Chains A and B, each alone.
Chain A
Amino acid sequence: MDEKILSKFFDRDDGHKLEVYEDHGGYDAARKAAEMSREEIVNEVKASNLRGRGGAGFPAGVKWSFIPQETEEDKYLVVNADEGEPGTFKDRQIMQRDPHQLIEGCIITAMALDLRYCYIYIRGELKFTEDIIQDAIEECYDKGYLGEDIFGTDQDLDIYTHISAGAYICGEETGMIEGLEGKPGKPRIKPPFPAIVGVFDAPTLVNNVESIACVPPVINRGAEWFANLGVEKNGGPKLYGLSGPIKNPGVYEAPSGITVRELLESPEYGGGMKEGKELKAYIPGGSSCAVLTPDELDREMSFEAMREVGSNLGTGCVTFVDQDTCMVRLAARLAHFYHHESCGQCTPCRDGTGWSAKVLDAIEAGRGRHEDLDLLEDMTGQIEHSTICALGPSLTFVVHSYLDKFPEEFEAHIEQGECPFPSWSLDDTKPAAAE
C-alpha cells in the first residue's frame, strides 16, 4: 500500500509527539466530528465497514449503536490495550509510535456516544507504553483537547491509563471490566452486555486499540473512502503482524482482504519463508484460530473468507509454521497456554484445558494410544458451548483443526513411540522429519 493510514509513524521515533501528529493533519478529524451530530458520526462508522480489530470482528458501528442515548448516568469508553493473543503484536506499535491517533479516536468516539470517561487498559508487561500514552494525554490537556467542552462542543472527556498486572483473560471485554474494577479478571455472564451494564455498572463501550485508531481516518476522509480500501464487509487498511520462520517478520499495513500469499511472499511484506524453510501451515489471526494449510494461501484476509474454511481472521496477525515443526508439540504448547490462562470459574475450561495438555504431552512424549485421539476430540468438544467466555473453546478450535489437518503426525507419534521431529532443545540429536 502506498499511503500509510495506520502506520505512518512506525518508522519514525518522534511520531508520538503532538507537534508531529498535527503536522500530518492530526486532530482535524476531531474538529470535523465536533461539527457533526452524534448520529452522523455513528452512521459514518457503520458505513465504513470497520470491523472490531481485537479478534471478534464485530461491526464497530453496530456495537456503538448498542450504547443507550438517553441516560443520565456517565458512560464509559474502555480501550482494550491488553494485547496478548499469542502471535499478535500490532496494537503495541500504535501505542508506542502513534498514541495521538488512538487518543483522537477516543475523542471522536466519546463525541459520538456521549462517553464521559475513557480508560486505556494496558497490559502490565507493556507498562513502557503507558508513559508514552500518558505524555500524549497530557499534551492534549494542555491544548484543551481533553477536559471540559472539548473542541467547542458541550462534550466533557477525561482519559486515563489503567495498568494491569498480567492476565490474558483480561483481553476478554468483561474480564477487562472486572480488572478495571480491581477484581480478578473473571468474565461475566452475558447478558447484560457491557453496553448496558459495564464498568462501575454504567453503559460501557469496549473497543480494541486498532479499531479506535481507525476512527479518525474514517471521519477525516469519509466512510466510502475507508470502505473502498478494503473488501466487502471488511473496510479499511489493516495492520498485519507476521511471525514465524519468514524472511521479514514484523507489522505491516495492507488493505483488508489482501491474500495470505501476498503477505507471505511479497518483498514488501514477509518476503517468503527463510532459506531452507518450507511452509507447512499458517494460523491467520492469533493462536485461537484454526490452523490452515498452504493450499489455502490464496485466501483473503477477511472474516468471511476465513470463516468459510472454519478459521477466523482474528487479530490479523499471521503465524507461519515450517516443515520442521511438530504440530503435536505446538498443540500441546497451546493447551498449556490456555490452561495457564484459564480464570478457573468454568469447570470445562479449567479442567478440560489441563487434561487436554496432559493427553497431548503424552502423545508428544511417545506414550500416546490410538484411542487418545478420539478422547482429545471428545474432551475438547465438551469445552465448546459450556463456558462463560471464548477462552476454553479456543482450545477446541486448536485441537480439532490440528487433528483434522495433521492426523498423520499424531498417528506417527503413537506408532513410533516418539516424536519424529527435531526438538526445541539446544542439545537436539534427533533428525528432522524431512531428512
Chain B
Amino acid sequence: MALQFSTEAEDQFQTIVSRYPNNLAALLPVLMLAQEEFGWISVEVMDYIAERLDVSKSQVFSTATFYTMLNKQPVGKCHIQVCTTFSCALAGGYEMLEYLEEALGIQAGETDPEHNFTISEVECLASCGTAPMFQLTTSDGEIEYFEDLDPDRVDEILEDLNDRLDELPDPRDMH
C-alpha cells in the first residue's frame, strides 16, 4: 500500500514546510515526523518524503543516513538510548548499560525477538550533571530523559514500560 501521512501528520507536515524558503530545508524535521508516523525510515519512507518534498531520492537518502536518530532498521517499541560518553562514563554509565543488558537479556545494538525493547549506546545527551541517564523513545513518538538513575529506578521504569507494551505499536507494523 502506498504510504500516506495521517490527517494529523499531514497538518504538521504543512506547518513544517511553511517555515522554510525551500522544501529541502524542511527535510530533517519532516524525517523526524515520518519516523513518528511510520515507525522507522525505510527506503520506502525516504522515497515517499522525496516525492512529497519534490527533492531527489538520493538527497533524502544522503541526509537520512547521516543522522543517527533516524532508524534505518525497525527498533523495538521502547528504544533505550544509554549515554556512555565522558561524564556518564565517569558516573556509572557503563554499569547501568550492563544492568539494562542483563535485565532485558539483550546487548547494546540489539532488539529482543518480540520487538519490545532495543538498547543503543549513544554519545553525549547533554545531561552530564544528572548522570547516569538514558533517553527513551517510544513508538508513539514520545522522547523522554530519565536521569540520576540507579538499579532500583531502572527496575521501576522497566516495570512501567512492560505495563505499557500492549498499547504501543510495533514499529515493524507501522508501514
Contacts and interface: CB of A to CB of B under 8 A. Distances in A.
Nearest to A251: B129
A333 B89 contact: yes
B157 interface: no
Interface string B118-152: 00000111111111000100000001110000000
A352 interface: no
A247 to B, nearest CB: 12
Contacts of B26: 182
Contacts of B144: 128
Contact of B94 (A165, A200, A330, A425): A425
Contacts of B32: 124, 127, 163, 165
A181 B63 CA distance: 10
Contacts of B93: 424
A330 B144 CA distance: 27
B128 A180 contact: no
B174 interface: no
Interface stretch (B2-10, B16-24, B105-113): B16-24
A22 interface: no
Contacts of B143: 125, 127-128
Contact of B66 (A88, A91, A180, A185): A185
Contact of A243 (B67, B94, B125, B129): B129
Contacts of A251: 129
Contact of B123 (A92, A168, A179): A168
Contacts, number: 151
B90 interface: yes
A88 B94 contact: no
Contacts of B126: 83-84, 88-89, 91-92, 123, 125-126
Given A163-B28, A181-B25, A424-B94, A319 B87 contact: yes
A244 B129 CA distance: 8
Contacts of B128: 86-89, 241, 243, 249, 317, 319
Interface string B48-69: 0000000100010011001111
B78 interface: no
B170 to A, nearest CB: 22
B91 interface: yes
B98 interface: yes
Given A84-B124, A337-B123, A340-B123, A182 B69 contact: no
A44 interface: no
A365 to B, nearest CB: 15
Contacts of A292: none
A396 B129 CA distance: 26
Interface of B: 19, 21-22, 24-29, 31-32, 55, 59, 62-63, 66-70, 81, 84-87, 89-91, 93-95, 98-99, 123-131, 135, 143-145
B28 A182 contact: yes
Contact of A424 (B21, B95, B124, B127): B95
Contact of B129 (A127, A242, A321): A242
Interface string A217-229: 0000000000000
B99 A249 contact: no
A86 B95 contact: no
Contacts of B86: 86-87, 287, 319, 330, 333-334, 337
Given A164-B67, A340-B123, 10 more contacts: A125-B135, A160-B19, A162-B29, A165-B32, A166-B69, A182-B26, A183-B62, A185-B66, A242-B129, A319-B87
A136 B17 CA distance: 20
B89 A125 contact: no
Nearest to B64: A165
A124 B66 CA distance: 13
A245 B21 CA distance: 47
Given A166-B67, A319-B87, A321-B90, A182 B27 contact: yes
Which 5 residue pairs are nearest across A and B when measured between Cβ atoms? A182-B27, A166-B69, A184-B66, A165-B67, A86-B86
Interface in A260-317: 287, 317
